[in-house]
């Protein structure tokens, strides 16, 4: 397996994901973790991640000397390389005159195992302010760019490599090959990590973590919590109880459809609670999206808490948190800027005094879908688009009323139905309708109308962190618009959103 030492880069989980794409297991630990803990199961290779600091900062995270004592291949990426160079004499790192951000061309100047099968000239993604001024004695330069005489190095005394660029991001043309070379060829690891082995090892881990305890799990109707609950059910059987809450802002028929799947197909132990009145009462008159999120988050906790207090003896709370939820909510040192507060991270376990189980915390969405398939969850369900915890409330861009929820549910159901029947549903990452706080004039028959406008949104994306608007066919859009205006009384105009993320976000609020 591969040990990734974390120096705080926003790309760390991408490194992990690339390693898993090579079917090799990996774990991320803090840069200063005690390596002795791995003596019974030594890693087959170590990757030192990038990081936001400069090695010359007074409190910069230091290189752990013991890494080299393990005698396994090492790859330093960006900060990881600089930390190594800074530590090994007479290496030194300094602020570069020309910072390098974005695409750069590297030239391989010495053939080596890391770049096996890769052309001499290729494009990489750089993101650094510092560069190496003096190389440690044992390092040779193996690649350079116009701005950085040291773009990649190899230690001639041992299998230690370093790259100044980020092989883990998609913009590095041969990044996947470079990491493949490191993991499979230089470390010589075989590909044993598959969704099936993830299921086996996670079930084992859940059993260890839960002990004899009882676990409560919130189900949202989405892929993540369903996969998490199915894993838990396999691990601990009836010591699991799932709670599925109707917050009044779910999609059309979702509360009943999803319950059916949970109880009939997946045989999960589910307690379904219809609290839509309570949620909609509390949302009355509220237009501010962050307030909506807070109200839904807090009310959910309250309803969940009540449902649980009718049972007893729970020791753990399970959540289907994924990696993108984690990075958008926290950062290496203290909280990062809150763009939108996603309510599914934090809050609950402290209040309820329960230990947290997050079996999917290291995975990306597409990996969760593969795990779901290995658990025999129906394909249709696994392919469902992500749906935000605050549901339709943040797609009604004004105060939330029952009538607006109903209009939006109807319009959304038509859009999704048409996407499916035109075989477009799986080609977009997420699609939904938003109800704009605008009314416009229309004419139907001989009557003047003055009704709501809806926006259609559809995006393509890999992980939701960046997204492009989907170029859906005009004929399709025409059909959807026509059906919505004719079938949903109260809506007389449909527009299509052509903004990408960034600078827009996927949701409108």
Which residues are part of a known binding site?
A: 220-226
Q: Which of 343, 404, 457, 493 binds ligand XMP (CB under 6 A)?
A: 343
Letters for 108-137 (x = contact with ligand XMP by CB under 6 A, - = none) are: ------------------------------
Q: Which stretch binds ligand XMP (CB under 6 A): 31-39, 171-179, 387-395, 405-413?
A: 387-395
Is residue 386 close enough to count as binding ligand XMP by CB under 6 A? Answer: yes
Residue 320 Cβ vs ligand XMP, minimum distance, rounded to whole Å? 10
Is residue 388 close enough to count as binding ligand XMP by CB under 6 A? Answer: yes
Residue 296 Cβ vs ligand XMP, minimum distance, rounded to whole Å? 8
What tokens appear for 460 in the block? 């393509």
- The DSSP-derived string for 41-84 is S--SEEEE---SS-TTSTTPPPP-THHHHT-S-EEEETHHHHHH
CB atoms within 10 A of CB 394: 21
3-state secondary structure 73-105: CEEEECHHHHHHHHHCCCCEEEEEEEEEEEEEE
Q: Which residues contact 371 (CB under 8 A, 6 or more apart)?
A: 195, 198, 199, 227, 231, 360, 363
- Known catalytic membership, residue 451: no
Range list of β-strands (E), 109-184: 121-134, 139-144, 152-155, 160-163
Count of chain residues binding ligand XMP (CB under 6 A)? 15
Is residue 172 close enough to count as binding ligand XMP by CB under 6 A? Answer: no
Is residue 430 close enough to count as binding ligand XMP by CB under 6 A? Answer: yes
Q: Which of 390, 396, 419, 484 binds ligand XMP (CB under 6 A)?
A: 390
Q: Which of 45, 51, 167, 389 binds ligand XMP (CB under 6 A)?
A: 389
Q: Which stretch binds ligand XMP (CB under 6 A): 238-246, 342-350, 408-416, 450-458?
A: 342-350
3-state secondary structure 183-249: HHHHCCCCCCCCHHHHHHHHHHHHHHHHCCCEEEEEECCCHHHHHHHHHHHHHHHHHEEEEEEECCC
Q: Which residues contact 165 (CB under 8 A, 6 or more apart)?
A: 78, 104, 106, 124, 125, 126, 151, 152, 172
Residue 202 Cβ vs ligand XMP, minimum distance, rounded to whole Å? 22
Q: Out of 26, 131, 168, 367, which one is annotated catalytic? A: 168
Peptide bond preceding 311 in cis form (omega within 30 of 0)? no
Q: Which stretch binds ligand XMP (CB under 6 A): 28-36, 252-260, 340-348, 478-486?
A: 340-348
- Known catalytic membership, residue 242: no
Q: Out of 86, 128, 131, 166, which one is annotated catalytic? A: 166
Is residue 395 close enough to count as binding ligand XMP by CB under 6 A? Answer: no
- Known catalytic membership, residue 168: yes
- Nearer to ligand XMP by Cβ, of 336 and 486: the residue is 336
Q: CA 462, CA 476: separation in Å to the nearest integer?
A: 23
Q: Which of 340, 355, 361, 483 binds ligand XMP (CB under 6 A)?
A: 340
Q: Specify binding-site residues for ATP.
A: 220-226
From residue 367, how far is each of 39, 357, 361, 434, 462 by CA, in Å? 29, 18, 11, 28, 11
Is residue 321 close enough to count as binding ligand XMP by CB under 6 A? Answer: no
Q: Which residues bind ligand XMP (CB under 6 A)?
A: 293, 340, 342-344, 386, 388-390, 430, 464, 501, 505-507
Q: What is the set of active-site residues?
A: 78, 166, 168
């Amino acid at each position: 397996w591969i040990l990734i030492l974390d120096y705080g880069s926003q790309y760390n989980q991408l490194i992990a994901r690339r390693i898993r794409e090579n079917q090799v297991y990996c774990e991320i630990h803090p840069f200063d973790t005690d390596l002795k803990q791995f003596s019974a199961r030594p890693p087959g290779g170590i990757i030192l991640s990038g990081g936001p600091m400069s090695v010359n900062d007074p409190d910069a995270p230091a290189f752990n000397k013991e890494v080299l004592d393990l005698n396994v291949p090492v790859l330093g990426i960006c900060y990881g390389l600089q930390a190594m160079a800074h530590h090994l004499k007479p290496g030194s790192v300094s602020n570069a005159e020309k910072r390098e951000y974005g695409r750069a061309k590297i030239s391989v100047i010495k053939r080596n195992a890391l770049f096996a099968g890769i052309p001499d000239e290729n494009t990489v993604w750089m993101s650094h302010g510092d560069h190496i001024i003096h190389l440690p004695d044992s390092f040779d330069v193996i690649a350079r760019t116009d701005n950085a005489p040291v773009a990649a190095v190899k230690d001639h005394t041992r299998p230690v490599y370093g790259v100044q660029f980020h092989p883990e991001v998609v913009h590095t043309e041969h990044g996947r090959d470079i990491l493949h070379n490191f993991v499979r060829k230089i470390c010589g690891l075989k590909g044993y990590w598959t969704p099936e082995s993830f299921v086996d090892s996670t079930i084992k881990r859940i059993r260890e973590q839960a002990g004899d305890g009882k676990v409560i799990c919130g189900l949202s109707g989405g892929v993540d919590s369903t996969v998490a609950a199915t894993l838990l059910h396999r691990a601990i059987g009836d010591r699991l109880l799932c709670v599925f809450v109707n917050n009044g802002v779910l999609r059309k028929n979702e509360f009943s459809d999803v319950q059916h799947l949970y109880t009939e197909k997946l045989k999960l132990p589910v307690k379904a609670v219809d609290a839509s009145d309570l949620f909609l009462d509390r949302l009355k008159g509220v237009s501010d999206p962050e307030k909506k999120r807070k109200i839904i988050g807090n009310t959910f906790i309250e309803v969940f808490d009540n449902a649980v207090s009718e049972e007893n003896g729970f020791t753990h709370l399970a959540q289907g948190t994924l990696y993108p939820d984690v990075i958008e909510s926290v950062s290496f040192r203290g909280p990062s800027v809150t763009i939108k507060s996603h309510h599914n991270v934090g809050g609950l376990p402290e209040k309820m005094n329960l230990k947290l189980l997050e079996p999917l915390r290291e995975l990306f969405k597409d990996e969760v879908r593969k795990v779901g398939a290995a658990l025999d969850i129906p394909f249709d369900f696994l392919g469902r688009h992500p749906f935000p915890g605050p549901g339709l409330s943040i797609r009604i861009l004004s105060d939330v009323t029952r009538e607006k929820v109903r209009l939006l549910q109807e319009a959304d159901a038509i859009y999704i139905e048409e996407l499916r029947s035109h075989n477009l549903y799986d080609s977009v990452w997420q699609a939904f309708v938003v109800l704009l706080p605008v009314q416009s004039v229309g004419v139907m028959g001989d009557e003047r109308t003055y009704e709501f406008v809806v926006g259609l949104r559809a995006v393509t994306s890999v992980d939701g962190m960046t997204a492009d608007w989907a170029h859906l066919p005009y004929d399709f859009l025409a059909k959807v618009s026509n059906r919505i205006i004719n079938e949903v009384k109260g809506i007389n105009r449909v527009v299509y959103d052509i903004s990408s993320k960034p600078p827009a976000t996927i949701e409108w609020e």
